[in-house]
Structure 1
Amino acid sequence: MKNPAPGGGDSNTLAFSVKNPIPTITSVTPSEAAIGVGDVVVAIQGSGFVSASDVYFGDTVVSKTAFTSSSITATIPGTLLQTLGLYQVKVKNPTPGGGESNTVAFSVKNPAPAITSVTPSEASVGSGNVTLAIAGSGFVSASDVYFGATVVSKTALTPGSITATIPGTLLQTAGLYQVKVNNPTPDGGESNTVAFTVKNPAPVITSVTPSEAGVGSGDVGVTIAGNGFVSTSEVYFGATVVSKTALTSNSITATVPGTLLQTAGQYQVTVKNPAPGGGDSASYTFRVVAELSISITEPSDGATVDKRMTLVRGTFSWESGDVGIVVNGVPAEVSGRQW
């Protein structure tokens, strides 16, 4: 204070301090984000904010992009959102005065996963391990990939793709299986499901051993070689399904009952795999043969042969490329059933 002349003068001085207020937060919006989402802009509402106010996310000061005495806009960098958990947001004003605000929780959660495609979307029974490429969003390091009810291993992962391996042991039975991704809590959850079809292969026969039997010979065990055979494969002898006694993916042992071997003829052996996939193999011929008999047609029965050389002709009761004939030490020419 100062008094004018005459006389007067200045009084002694007393200090007056202008201090920063103590900040207070009433809300932080948004109050959560998904892990790995990238930078997040938050709006902090409250009071006592000043230009020198610092915004803390956990122990890290983050940048302000706008402020008033009752509002601060700040950016949380994505590098701080890589780990699940509950983080505290606060505002701190410097001295003189100032101090720290109350804290408000900000949650970093797992996102909800979503699948847009699975490639491939099918495989054959017994095809061995299959590598899947799953495209979508919201995938995190803790995501689990399910094939049906079984978690399968991941070999690579980004937020938008997962590479996983379905072991061949899960591909032994034909059917429709569901692929999904599950993210753990906090939040997370299950994705939509995408169908994966395990199909039966188309069977192929390369040989049937033996490939013939005699009429009335009783039950005959046959070995069918080929590929694409599965546990549900059926073996047909003509139009009749016969029983299997052993099976691998490239071999079937089956029994043709003697009741099917009572009539000479050619019968078709086929293997049929059921849907999904599957189908009929090409047929393989199995012959049921009667006992072979030989007839002489020339010279006629009872004729007198007075030549040193004579022509002898005859027939077989059925045609076989495996049969020859020798007359008096001389091999005969064979054509079909004629000799």
Structure 2
Amino acid sequence: MIQKLLLASCLLWAENVAATSLSAPEPPSAETNRPFSTTAWLAGDLVVSPATLPAFTTAAGTPSAYQTILINGTGLTGDVTVTASAGFEIAWLENGPYGSSQVLTQLGGTVTNVPLYVRLAGNTLGSFTGTVTVANTGSASRTVAVSGTVTAAPTPNPVPVLTSISPSSGGHGPPIVMDLNGSGFVPGATVSMDLTRIISTTYVSSTHLRALVQLPSRATSVQARVIVKNPLPGGGDSAPQMFNILATAPIITSFSPSSGPVGTAVTIQGYNLYLFSGGATVSFNGTQAILIPPTPSGEQITAVVPAGATTGLITLANKNGAAVSATPFVVTASPPPFFENFEQGTKTSYTPASVALASGGWTFGEALIGTTAGADKFNGSKSARLRGGGFVEMDVDKPNGAGVVTVSAATYSTETGVSFLPEISTDGGVTYTSLLTGPAPVLTPNLTTYSFTANRGGNVRLRFSSSNLNASTNPRINIDDVGITNFTVTSSQRKQGLPQLVVYPNPAQNYLTVATGSSRPTQVTLHDLTGRVVLPQVTLPASQRLTLPASLPQGSYLLQVNSQGEQRMIRFLKQ
């Protein structure tokens, strides 16, 4: 019975073996992309990338920079082994250890994005080609093509020898040229020196270098090492030569600006100006100033013009000595509370528009901001340019009234026969009154400052108009540097002349009524806007009416009124 059972088992085993050996291998699937084998089917799958690495290069005796291969795998059995062709090395870490073969131990059958680092060993001269092979018993092997070239190593540079330097001493001042003599210098050699800025190093020959050196400011003399350094490969530092950096007196080479009022920040340029162990003092014509940022240095220092300073030389002193400027700093009067120089605005056409300036908005009519040097006249780089019918007026009020109004004016280019009319408003620009107490100033091609007493309280605005009433025509004028002082009433201050004066109608056609509020005689004189008399002085009749000449052209005019020992100028429009 037992023999029969054993025989049946043997027959069943034989049938199974036969069935297994005769069955066809399973074809590859689209999902796994495993290769088809006619001899056996391997369940694992290795994937490596990239298929080819870019060519390596290195010099003999030095391994090349590494490149990376990524290894992935599923269904693996046993460890993953990697081998590299002759001349190449591989490692699991970028810093090694490197060898011709490596083993990746795995137990779960899967590896994911494992980096393998590959480099050209550089042990032998020549060109190399080969592969890096990644293998596993459960998968087909994978290869990555590699290639590279090992070139001869460059000849190392010698260590330089520095035997002398010239000069061997000096103090803070303009950069000096230092000649360095020795041997073994190569192109690319550099010079260094303690406490000192080397601006540039020039290779002259293997025995001669030349350096441009900026020495520092010092309160006491000090020895500094001078060294020559040759670059890699090889190279290195020479033995030092010693340079004596001297403590020298300050030198003022320039300052800016050249003028300004009290409170102006003045930047002084020079050498050995500020000593970090002792500082420095600055005086304007004997009056000591305070220093302000930026941080002072041996070559630059900034000071503020102090109260009480007057025009004179700038003096700078420190522990090493003192220096004075070659030219004086001119202390000017402080600008008034309101000041406009037209430097911050931009307007390039005569089309009417409002322009944002430092003092606020201004309306320009038949006017622009001129910047043409030689033709436009200005104290900075800009001024207002007005042509026929032109004006500029403030868009916003200045508080605290107007005491004295100053303005600089000139004719544009070489044009002549034109002036300007200064006017003031105390009602937000609704009406304006002339500030002239006589004829309009005669302008020249040179920018000239004019002053007008306003003595108006409260809020005020100014307007400046061209005396050329023919719109869009020449001649033209420039207006610059408008200033207004605050109005302060004192017991001795004279009131505005003829405060009750009323002139009407305005505009007028045939006559004007001039009401002074008094029965005393009144004399009037009629001027055009250039100040030219167009109607000589006459005494008004009891009716206080002035008949305008029928031949008087239409336009703006100035009526000068004198009565009771007082005078006032009124602008009106003839229609």
Using the size of structure 1 for normalisation, the TM-score is 0.35
- Structure number with the bigger relative contact order (C-alpha 8 A, sep ≥ 6) is 1
Using the size of structure 2 for normalisation, the TM-score is 0.23
Q: Which has the higher strand share?
A: 1
